[in-house]
């Protein structure tokens, strides 16, 4: 499994908004700017066959419009586009589409062939297809949010928390996965629906055989101190196999170029 970070930042960060692409075709979240970010790095949004959405905040969802336009302008998909997300997903897309490009939803939809898989945000759910088994877990955030466990046919096990405070589902995802991508909005403890680096390092300390990758970072989150916690940059790619993260020099956390500890901008933590 190839895990590519399109963006790793929170709203007021210099980093792009958090989203990730697996094997070039399974996209997790469609935040503001993510389709342009893919294009700029040579990734083709038309190659996305499965899209998981954690929640409907704009820094995770706003570019769903542009995913549809990328997929449906001048072409018709030859297979369904699978869209997995919280209950109300189809309605949210239609409303956002009508607000953004009035009257064009009806003509765009048939070209994209969306197949919505709406999962309960109180109990979670699951979906399987195209070589992946996806389980969704209820997270704790300002709005209903799902975290995901993604297992491929080779046995790679990836977890992705989405935005959440530390809740039982975070521990479940950490236990089920060999690599967990974690909301790490704050430098120390989390608050108001987000986690902080101190909590991620505590999770990692109890699970030394697993790796934890931080995302949704604010610019004042310092470099991790534990070897099994890695702070990716935008555009960084990792390989995961049945044994866990394939660690190479390229996948060692950064910490130099961003000026650790500098508080460049205030943090908006409610989103
Ligand atoms: Zn959010």
User: Which pLDDT tens digit goes with each residue over 6-63?
Assistant: 999 999 999 999 999 999 999 999 999 999 999 999 999 999 999 999 999 999 999 9
59 C-alpha to center of ligand 1: Å? 7
What domains does the chain contain, in order, with CATH numbers?
Answer: 2-251 (3.60.15.10)
Residue 265 vs residue 197, higher pLDDT: 197
Sign of CA dihedral 34, 81, 156, 145: positive
User: Which pLDDT tens digit goes with each residue over 129-180?
Assistant: 999 999 999 999 999 999 999 999 999 999 999 999 999 999 999 999 999 9
The pTM for the full model equals 0.92
2 C-alpha to center of ligand 1: Å? 25
229 C-alpha to center of ligand 1: Å? 22
153 C-alpha to center of ligand 1: Å? 30
106 C-alpha to center of ligand 1: Å? 29
């Amino acid at each position: 499994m190839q895990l590519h970070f399109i963006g790793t930042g929170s709203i007021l960060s210099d980093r792009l908004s958090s989203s990730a692409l697996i094997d070039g075709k399974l996209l997790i979240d469609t935040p503001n700017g993510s389709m342009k970010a893919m294009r700029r790095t040579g990734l083709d949004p038309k190659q996305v066959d499965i899209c998981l959405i954690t929640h409907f905040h704009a820094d995770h969802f706003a570019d769903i419009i542009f995913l549809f336009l990328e997929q449906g302008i001048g072409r018709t998909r030859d297979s369904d586009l699978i869209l997995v997300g919280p209950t109300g997903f189809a309605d949210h897309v239609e409303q956002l589409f009508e607000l953004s490009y009035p009257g064009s939803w009806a003509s765009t939809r048939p070209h994209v062939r969306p197949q919505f898989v709406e999962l309960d945000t109180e109990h979670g759910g699951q979906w399987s297809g195209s070589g992946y088994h996806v389980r969704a877990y209820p997270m704790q955030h300002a709005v209903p949010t799902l975290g995901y466990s993604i297992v491929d046919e080779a046995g790679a096990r990836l977890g992705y928390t989405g935005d959440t405070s530390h809740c039982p589902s975070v521990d479940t995802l950490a236990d089920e996965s060999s690599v967990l991508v974690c909301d790490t909005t704050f430098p120390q403890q989390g608050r108001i629906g987000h986690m902080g680096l101190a909590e991620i390092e505590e999770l990692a300390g109890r699970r030394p055989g697993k790796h934890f990758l931080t995302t949704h970072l604010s610019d004042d989150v310092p470099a991790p101190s534990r070897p099994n916690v890695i702070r990716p940059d935008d555009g960084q790619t990792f390989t995961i196999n049945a044994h866990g993260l394939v660690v190479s020099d390229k996948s060692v956390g950064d910490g130099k170029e961003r000026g650790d500890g500098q508080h460049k901008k205030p943090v908006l933590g409610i989103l």
